[in-house]
Structure 1
């Protein structure tokens, strides 16, 4: 049985107050909260076996190395990668995207094309623009409709023999739209293009199977999945990771160094220069264990209940408009009150102890499409409750009354 009150006891921060009100945390699309089980793993690392990894013969180093590599295996199993060395530890989703974009500088030339979508986060736009500037390739965009869905018929028209890389997010951070990535991947492969999927927003809600998807690259961040900030992973098919050059040079990623020539280490170390976020990697594994213990089917079903409940309640507020009404979406609601700036609404909600996100959510092209400066975004996690949704709805009504 899914028991949200029992789950909430795992999250110490949910017991605090903000502005003398009980915290209602609805900014989960920006970062999730961390359960005590993961906090304990972090404390244990720094308290009992803090040491550098892979190069030490002493016991602490070996313990840390074992724990770090065990975390890699957990991530491999979670995403169903074929090999553990296809999992590259990164500082987060943005790092993974830039690693691939940097590597593709060697493969692209004038006349080649990259396809992204109109729903992308800035981190999924800017690196590809920079790549196009370096290589002479052209950036093309899959358009969206007013419901916040990608127009697949237009995607089909964009694909050609010149398409070398297709990049889309699995779920939109601004609207919650779940994109049809299975179709996107299949059609891209038909023209010989590689595909990178940004899973930062999907991995907290669903359990991607990278082999079943047949995706070439998949990136995500631990802090969206009850883990620490500054930690993420890039999955890449072995054949692609062997083709890509190293993103950074330094210790750990080398096989042999002389002043005449350096040879690089095998995967995954080829892409993991320097001392990594050891504790972050171990805690990422612990966070995946925690979420799997609850079960992603249970998480998804409960969050969908919250989404339906909140959508209906907010829709009953006169003058409130929801942006992003895709048939397939996750627990994100972006909205505005007519004639009121989203920042002002967010400020009132904060005074009531309600944490939401306001602005363009690093998805300015989405806001430009709707011709708005931004939205109020409430994003729900499996530890939120319908009572918290009620508090949000009452808070929005109060903001409307105060600001109208």
Structure 2
């Protein structure tokens, strides 16, 4: 996707390998805004990773936080790549239109930026599938999904993203010494590969959240059935209405010295106490399961918010990436859509900060301890 106009000239001198000519269309103030946004993205994601790493042994030990930390690494690198591209664009001199970063270097930065965006999408799918497996088989998940499996999943996520973009990337940089303007144009093979992989992973993520929604509805229906009062005369109804006190004639029979009646009354009382104790234990277990389910649903809603924000900010950029390889797209519109990518990379930090109390607590501890460390060594 081009940041400059298509009007460009190439020098026939040996300096052509390092000197490219472009026409500068975007104002510097807009570039500085994107530059500031890139700095914020890098700082925010460093804080996110550091906070999750610090709390990984206490309140932030769930697998979802590990995937969020890996996603933050990808987002931080996207912000760094955006900084490099913006600085390169600012180095286009209005007088002669020359820019001096090597074109192959800029091509590699663009490839890294797009690959990291695909890795971020794959992280969204992994987060959704992880929560779906937990909701579907919670006991099997807790027993079998270990820390090693989680870290292997993170490594596989990065490997799949890099492997998916490797072949189109080789085609993208097949022409050496491409001018900066052309290096940022979208090659059709690269754009189609990137957009196709993006849409496939997004469809998989939507399918996982649809399955989660069905499981939630099924669980709510089962809870509604359990809340229906049992019919009068059933065993559970008798347990609720029966007291631990013996029948009224027990005392009379006891004073009359009838041992069989007394023993029968005591057995009845003991049986009633066992039934009530069993019911209390069942209700306590049901309460803990309900609280666990509420916590899981809260996390699912949080991840769904992250995914929805991601789609809202990355889908226009991906579609513009695809369209710019097929039709002519205005450069300022394309630049605006591309600038939404670092916005998405920064918004995840604020979503986690707003929705997660455990994260806020760990972040406060991290900031306080960092301030104390700086104060002691200053």
Band of TM-score, shorter chain: under 0.3
Q: TM-score when scaled to structure 1?
A: 0.21
Larger Rg: 2
Q: TM-score when scaled to structure 2?
A: 0.22
